[in-house]
Chain A
Amino acid sequence: MAKTILAVDDSGSLRQMVAFSLKAAGYQVIEAVDGQDGLEKARNQVVDLVLTDQNMPRMDGLTLIKSLRGLPSYARVPILMLTTESSDDMKAKGRAAGANGWLVKPFDPQKLTEVVKKVIG
């Protein structure tokens, strides 16, 4: 059974490219338009990996990660940040919040799928 990835980003074109790349690699993709939407979808269905943007309306990526880590079912689910942010300070905040990795946009589809494969197989 294909593993499921929750892709959270307020940019429709970015979500489209993430979904395209991951589906081509055999993963199922659930899309969420911001952190709040991501949290609701994550509560409805426990996924195998969360890929989230940082700067989004309503709820940002760091808040989403902290909220997810507060849910027992997401204590060990890998969470990767996919964001334009690239400062060491932001990466440290992501790590402290519970992120397992940091990808700086724009992403290369092959590199993205390689990382995802490395993390969840």
Chain B
Amino acid sequence: MSKKKLLGSQVKQLLSGVSDHGNAHLLEVETDLAQTTILLGEAIEKLGVSFMALHAAISSEQEEINLIVSSGGVSDESVLRLKVIQEDISRHISSAVTSLQFQDLTSQLISRTLQRCEGLREVLGTLGVLGNDIEHDGESDELTALLRETTVRLEKQSADLKNLLRKAVHQKHLDSGDIELF
């Protein structure tokens, strides 16, 4: 096989290899993200139900405590201790409400990642299609033109993808966000 033929064949093999292997790995990424979404969805549903049930139980307990306290059978020291415990519970409930918003943030990030996978699949598809266009014994000028065309198309696809996928979630912690009244 001549040097020219070898180069054409190798470039063709490289492009289709990148496309095929890339697609296979992307499929794994998408499958894992779909599984993560299911697990996070189930987790937030169960956490939400448990949180509401816990809150209802604590509220009922508090009503009973209030009745006992109002009957006068509790020392002042105990009343103070109960007040401190109640404040602790309120603080923990507030913290839980803030933390339970994790799924809203993570689902947006996962959705963006899945869209990026989809875009990347199109990019890999371009590589595969152009790889198929390469003749095993094509002229080096043809090969150069095809590779240049591929580069231009990839740059455009990448730029389009970047513009499409504006990042809406920048939070790195679950601390409560800023508030601004206009």
- State the A residues within 8 Å of B (CB): 9, 11, 13-14, 16-17, 20-21, 54-55, 83-86, 91, 95, 99-111, 115, 118-119
Report how far A17 CA is from B99 CA in the complex, Å.
10
Which residues in A have their C-beta under 8 angstroms from that of B98?
106-109
B155-179 CB contact bits vs A (8 Å, 1 = yes)? 0000000000000111100111111
The CA of A84 and the CA of B105, in the complex, are separated in Å by 7
A82: nearest residue on chain B (CB-CB)? B177
Residue of B nearest to A10 (CB): B104
Q: Is the interface of A mostly helix, strand, loop or mixed?
A: mixed
Q: List 22 A-B contacts (CB under 8 A).
A: A9-B104, A11-B104, A14-B103, A17-B100, A17-B101, A20-B52, A20-B97, A21-B97, A55-B108, A84-B171, A91-B180, A101-B182, A102-B179, A103-B180, A104-B179, A106-B98, A106-B99, A106-B176, A107-B98, A108-B176, A109-B97, A111-B176
| Closest partner residue, chain B, to A108 (CB atom) | B176
Query: Quick check: A13 and B171 within 8 Å, CB to CB?
Result: no
B146 within 8 A of A: no
Chain A, Cβ-Cβ closest to B181? A101
Q: How many A-B residue pairs have CB under 8 A?
A: 94
Question: When the two chains form the complex, which single residue of B52, B55, B94, B171 contacts A105, counting CB atoms closer than 8 Å?
Answer: B171
Give Cα A93 to B103, complex, Å.
26
> Which among B55, B93, B179 has the greatest number of chain A C-beta atoms within 10 A?
B179
B104 contacts A105, C-beta separation under 8 Å = yes
Q: Hey, which chain A residues are within 8 Å of B105, CB to CB?
A: 84, 105-106
Contact of B168 among A54, A106, A107, A110 (CB under 8 A): A54
Compute how far the CA of A109 lies from the CA of B55 in the bound complex, rounded to whole angstroms: 14
Complex alpha-carbon distance, A17 and B94, angstroms:
10
Residue ranges of B at the interface with A (Cβ–Cβ < 8 Å): 44-45, 48, 52, 55, 93-94, 97-105, 107-108, 168-171, 174-182
Contact A99-B179, Cβ < 8 Å, known A21-B97, A109-B98? no
Complex-state Cα separation, A16 to B101, whole angstroms: 9
Task: Determine whether the beta carbon of B94 is less than 8 Å from that of A109.
Answer: yes
B101 and A86 contacting across the interface, CB-CB below 8 Å: no
**A16-B48, A103-B178, A105-B105 known; 16 other A-B pairs, CB under 8 Å?**
A13-B44, A13-B45, A17-B100, A54-B168, A86-B178, A91-B180, A101-B181, A103-B177, A103-B179, A106-B98, A106-B171, A108-B176, A109-B93, A109-B98, A111-B176, A118-B181
Q: How far is the CA of A99 from the CA of B176 in the complex (A)?
A: 20
Is the Cβ of B182 less than 8 Å from the Cβ of A99? yes
Top-5 shortest CB links A-B:
A104-B177, A108-B176, A106-B101, A11-B104, A101-B181
How far apart are the CA atoms of A118 and B94 in the complex, in Å? Answer: 19
CB within 8 Å for A101 and B104 given contacts A106-B174, A108-B94, A109-B98: no
